Amino acid sequence: MKLLSGERYKWVVVGLLWLVTTLNYVDRMTIFTVFPLIKREMGISDIVLALLGSTFLWAYGIFSPLGGYLGDRFSRKGVIIGSLVIFSLVTYATGYAKTGHQLIAFRVFLGLSEAVFLPTALSHIATFHSAATRSLANAICLTGFSVGAGVGGFYGGYMGDHYSWRMGFYILGVVGIFIALILVAFLHDHPDTMAERRPQGADAIPQERFDRKVMAILKTPTAACMIFLALAISVGSWPMGTWMPTYLYERFGMSLTKSGLTMALFTYTPALVGSVLAGLWADRWAKSNARGRMSVQIVGMIFMAPTLLAVGFMSTGRTLVETLFLFSLARGSLEVNAMPVFSTVVAPRRWSTAYGLYNLAGTFSGSLAVLFVGAMKASWGIGYGLSSASIVPFMAIGVLSFVMVRFLAQDMRRRQEEAI
């Protein structure tokens, strides 16, 4: 089939992995919309609800670098499909949970299984795409975050209002197994990555140890800056995704279905649009300026930080929705360029591990922020808790600007010299 060969196939890869990325986020985000139902049914506290978000992120973060290493070391197709099958089975099993402790256990397993997917998937895309289309390809794949989060929020609320939140998880698990069968048939490994893992005699480059990969990445200032960027993004976005449906439900009296729909239309949809526009803009800017991709990230952070600060001070649902729209548009422009920046300063054999470290920083900071907002809910309220997280994105503006000016060019030169 022509679709599975030549220049077109690189976009087939993006489409297939977009499906998995979307399901990945539907699986993890659906539970947040049904927090009120779970709390009422199981009699659990707000802290336990917060732990459903935080423990997922802790497991996801801890295992992300190792998951990325698996993607650098073994067949990326096999790693991707294995992750999909396992997190789909865990999602299905979540529908059988009877207590808060069981839910927390399933969230831990979900985090471990999903941690393997994203670093490997984005590295897989990067191997099929050159610098000319790498940001757009990543942007398209990462729109699965926004689509999945939006669908998950609406889907969870709809199932909770009209059927059963448990049935929602059963259905998602079955869908995941079906998508895995599609990937078995149509997803392939890139010939270059297969050749790298095949012994080539005495002159072959030996497999790099995990600890050496990590140290090489952290010693690269631009790569370390990307890891800090993940921290700054997640401090605002994860608490927003976790607690905003409850905030809309409790503070503004929205139904579960309406709060989920509001998140889909005014949070996840603009993030999707921002992601694609930023990918196109970054690819075009990078052709004439090596700093183009990081410059796009800085512009996004300049808009994200003040809108996050403003969230807790909105007194009406309309003004809050307008603020969420601007925040999400800016948020969507940030992550799409992380892997493309990594690919210009880090050797290909370290790409998945680099993104695993990126996930580690983002998920741990996000998990602590989710727990912080939950702990402060009774005294500060969700809105002010979210606003307080804006201090880190404000710091990130300065850090990204400094590293871009001082270190980006020399890190790119070092990467090119290593490839010779």
**Residue 26 identity (one-letter amino acid):** V
pLDDT band at 203 (very low <50, low <70, confident <90, very high): very low
3-class state of residue 201 by DSSP: coil
Q: How far is CA 412 from CA 71, 163, 407, in A?
A: 23, 54, 9
| Domain locations along the chain | 2-191+209-419
Gap between the Cα atoms of 58 and 67, Å rounded: 14
Span 167-199, pLDDT tens digits:
888 999 999 999 999 999 998 887 766 545 555
In this structure, what DSSP letter does residue 75 have? -
CATH class of 2-191+209-419: mainly alpha
**Residue 55 identity (one-letter amino acid):** T
Gap between the Cα atoms of 260 and 266, Å rounded: 10
Span 236-282, pLDDT tens digits:
888 887 788 778 877 887 776 777 777 777 877 888 888 888 888 98
Q: Residues 138, 121: contact at Cβ < 8 Å?
A: no
**Residue 107 identity (one-letter amino acid):** R
- Return the structure tokens found at 34: 């049904």
Gap between the Cα atoms of 38 and 219, Å rounded: 45
Report the predicted TM-score, pTM, of the whole model to 2 decimal places: 0.74
- Return the structure tokens found at 135: 């940001």
pLDDT at 403 over 90: yes
Gap between the Cα atoms of 232 and 235, Å rounded: 5
Which residue intervals of 187-316 are DSSP H helices? 191-197, 210-218, 221-251, 256-263, 269-288, 292-310
Directed axis angle between helix 292-310 and helix 391-406, to 10°? Answer: 170
pLDDT band at 419 (very low <50, low <70, confident <90, very high): low
Region of residue 314 (left: phi > 0; alpha: psi -120 to 50; beta: else): beta
pLDDT at position 1 = 46
Region of residue 43 (left: phi > 0; alpha: psi -120 to 50; beta: else): left
pLDDT band at 202 (very low <50, low <70, confident <90, very high): very low
Gap between the Cα atoms of 270 and 264, Å rounded: 9
In the chain the first and final C-alpha atoms are separated, in Å, by: 35
